[in-house]
């Protein structure tokens, strides 16, 4: 059975109205210059790190790349900002939401347009500080490491595809 058959919600074409985006998940890794956002399913031993934001959503840490920022630097910055975490091993790219925007201009001037990608990664991490919560980022209220089953359940608060994304990350991490 293919990944798309095992994870149908994750792989179905989707509209992200909030960004004017038509998206499609794939395990095909995009070219670095197309990546505008990076998110990481973080493994802390036998548990997954999740962050609860002010909307009461449970998120995997990640966010928007800054101008000229490498993917690795973005991962490290976002992990510190949202989870108070740092990688203790390699960062593995597992897939991406490939997106096409119907907006007239890019979200930020340095981003590619109209085609872009949200990169999904996994990493082993240690949570060793509080989130820095910069003013221009999501405001994280709580960081937890939770067992895999609970991570799957809680991550669904951030969209119906997220539970499947976390399940895929667990499968690929093993």
- What pLDDT score does 85 carry? 98
Q: How far apart are CA 119 and CA 8, in angstroms?
A: 18
The token pair that represents 153 in the structure block? 């359940």
- What pLDDT score does 134 carry? 87
- What pLDDT score does 12 carry? 96
φ, ψ (nearest 5 deg) of residue 172: -75, -25
- What pLDDT score does 118 carry? 97
Do 49 and 125 touch, CB atoms closer than 8 A?
A: yes
- What pLDDT score does 37 carry? 98
Do 51 and 146 touch, CB atoms closer than 8 A?
A: no
- What pLDDT score does 138 carry? 81
State the 10-residue block means of pLDDT for the chain, 174 residues long: 94 94 97 98 97 95 97 97 97 98 95 98 97 87 97 94 97 90
- What pLDDT score does 114 carry? 98
Strand partners of residue 80: none
**Domain spanning 3-173 has what CATH number?**
3.90.79.10
- What pLDDT score does 121 carry? 98
Model confidence pTM above 0.85: yes
φ, ψ (nearest 5 deg) of residue 79: -65, -40
Q: How far apart are CA 125 and CA 132, in angstroms?
A: 16
- What pLDDT score does 57 carry? 95
> Residues 162, 167, 171, 174: is their CA dihedral positive or negative?
positive
């Amino acid at each position: 059975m293919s990944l798309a058959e095992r994870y149908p919600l994750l792989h179905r074409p989707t509209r992200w109205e909030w960004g004017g985006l038509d998206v499609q998940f794939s395990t095909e890794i995009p070219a670095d210059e197309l990546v505008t956002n990076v998110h990481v399913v973080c493994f802390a031993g036998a548990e997954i790190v999740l962050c609860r934001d002010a909307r009461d959503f449970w998120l995997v840490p990640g966010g928007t790349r800054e101008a000229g920022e490498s993917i690795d630097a973005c991962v490290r910055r976002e992990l510190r900002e949202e989870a108070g975490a740092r990688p203790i091993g390699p960062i593995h790219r597992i897939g991406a939401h490939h997106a096409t925007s119907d907006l007239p201009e890019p979200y930020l001037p340095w981003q590619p347009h109209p085609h872009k990608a949200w990169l999904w990664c996994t990493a082993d991490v240690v949570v060793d500080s509080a989130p820095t919560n910069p003013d221009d980022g999501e405001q994280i209220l709580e960081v937890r490491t939770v067992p895999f089953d609970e991570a799957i359940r809680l991550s669904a608060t951030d969209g119906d595809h997220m539970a499947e994304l976390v399940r895929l990350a667990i499968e690929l991490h093993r």
